Amino acid sequence: IEQTNSSESDGNIPKRQRLTRASTRLSQSSQDLKRAADHDESPPLTPTGNAPSSESELDISSPNASHDESTAKDQANRDSDKDLSHRPKRRRCHETYNFNMKCPTPGCNSLGHLTGKHERHFAVSGCPLYHNLSADECSSLQVKAVSREKQEEEVKEENNSRHATRHQTPTLKQSRYKEQVSEMRKGRNSGLQKEQKEKHMEHRQTHSNTREPLLENITSEYDLELFRKAQARASEDLEKLRIQGQITEGSNMIKTILFGRYELDTWYHSPYPEEYARLGRLYVCEFCLKYMKSQTILRRHMAKCVWKHPPGDEVYRKGGISVFEVDGKKNKIYCQNLCLLAKLFLDHKTLYYDVEPFLFYVMTEADNTGCHLVGYFSKEKNSFLNYNVSCILTMPQYMRQGFGKMLIDFSYLLSKVEEKVGSPERPLSDLGLISYRSYWKEVLLRYMCNFQGKEISIKEISQETAVNPVDIVSTLQSLQMLKYWKGKHLVLKRQDLIDEWKAKEIKRGHSNKTIDPSSLKWTPPKGT
């Protein structure tokens, strides 16, 4: 019996080795199948309809294990390909979609698009709910978009095939189409019935400005269809600009503004209303600062606008330069529009609508068409910290021409009239800090040049120039004119800096970009 068992065991060794090799190959093939299944996000199915959890579920007891292995592998691949083909594909969105953004229309889930070509929307222009479209109408948008593209391609091909002559007779197809259009437009002036008017009024009272007004029965079906096509095309153009990165959600969507005869590139985001903020370009009246959506609206407004200068009192005039004092309480709309305009070019500005506690001093340059906005600064009516400037801006088209220093000098001139020491409100922007440092340096060097005494006092400088002592000390330190010696602070009169300033003044010559105190006609407001 022992010999028989030993012989049987010896005879089984090659068979076990063959089974081991076959099981190894099967394990490798199953791992490859699992990797492919993980890549496709679903496991391949076996002929029984279940996914193999381990290699023990496969039949490896047959002597022809290698043949069974290849057969099982081919069958599994065929079945997996077959099942994967029936599995619904994952819907992919463009990489620029930001799923944290939401459509501003109340009750909208941001799904769907007016054109039917996109799966999501983030603006009112592409919102089906805003345009009063139902679920069935939204499902047919894709079909309409395809048919619209085919019609446009046919029209292009037909136009290209014809000769480009000016007085060419219309084709038979065009004549029939014109007759159909005339027939469809016959009933467009019939007007709304009583029930339709009530329905329209109820819709407007229910949704107000959050939905588009009902357009059915207002005009002919043909004209309404043309209007819908124009809406879809405009929405598609906005979507293309957004995908290209020219319009981005959650950031500054106003890229340029048309202001007078200038087209200005914006620097920062400004909280204009959403219907204006989503436009790529904004049109602003340079006199009343009203903002509009299109060139046509601006042209009509300019024909009716009677403003040629800012509202308020003109407190300074010399040559073509004027300064107007505008009260934020009396001219609230103008001051709010001015703050919204300024935010396009200022990063740290936070005041937009609460303008009543402030006075705005607007500098203009006059010509035969009116007084054009150069810049402005705002000032609190009652400042406990004696700030003489809350916000200051020079328009980009007037930068690097000396108008910024004129605004700063004018603010300190008002502080001198009030017999106060002033300072700008912190924090200063980068451009603001550069302008103020340059102004303080010029004021100190002019004072040093005209000073003839031996001892100088920072307090005396502050009283004569109306500059805060803290600003004087920081400027002297930056110029290396303040030293500490034997327990005392000494102000050094650096002749090299004074000579350099004199040379610049001579080279600059007599400039009209200076404030003349004699041209100021102003008294401090009561209560300040």
Query: Of 249, 425, 442, 505, which is the active-site residue?
Result: 425
CA distance 339 to 106: 29
Of 341, 379, 388, nearest in space to 359 by CA: 379
Residue keyed to tokens 């209303």: 273
The structure tokens 């004119």 sit at: 481
Token output for 514: 């200076």
Tokens, residue 328: 């934020």
How far is it, in rounded angstroms, from Cα 248 to Cα 485? 58
Contact assessment for residue 358 and residue 381, using Cβ atoms and an 8 Å cutoff: yes
Per the CB < 8 A criterion, the answer to whether 355 and 373 are in contact is: no
For residue 314, what are the β-bridge partners? Answer: 324
The CB-based long-range contact list for 471-476 (8 Å cut-off, 24+ gap) reads: 471/423, 471/436, 471/440, 472/440, 472/444, 475/437, 475/440, 475/441, 475/444, 476/444
Across 279-402, where does the E strand assignment appear?
281-284, 291-292, 313-318, 321-327, 358-367, 370-380, 387-389, 391-394
Amino acid at 179: E
> Is 505 tagged catalytic?
no
List, in sequence order, every beta strand (DSSP E) within 228-350.
Answer: 256-259, 262-265, 281-284, 291-292, 313-318, 321-327
CA distance readout (Å), 282 to 87, 255, 389: 48, 8, 28
DSSP 46: P
Phi, psi of 345 (to 5 degrees): -125, 5
SS3 (DSSP) at 335: helix
For residue 68, count CB atoms less than 10 angstroms from its CB and return exposed for 0-12, middle for 13-18, buried for 19 or more: middle
- Helix (H) or strand (E) holding 275, with range, is helix 274-277
State the Cα–Cα distance between residues 195 and 297, nearest whole angstrom.
Answer: 34
Which residues are part of the catalytic machinery?
425
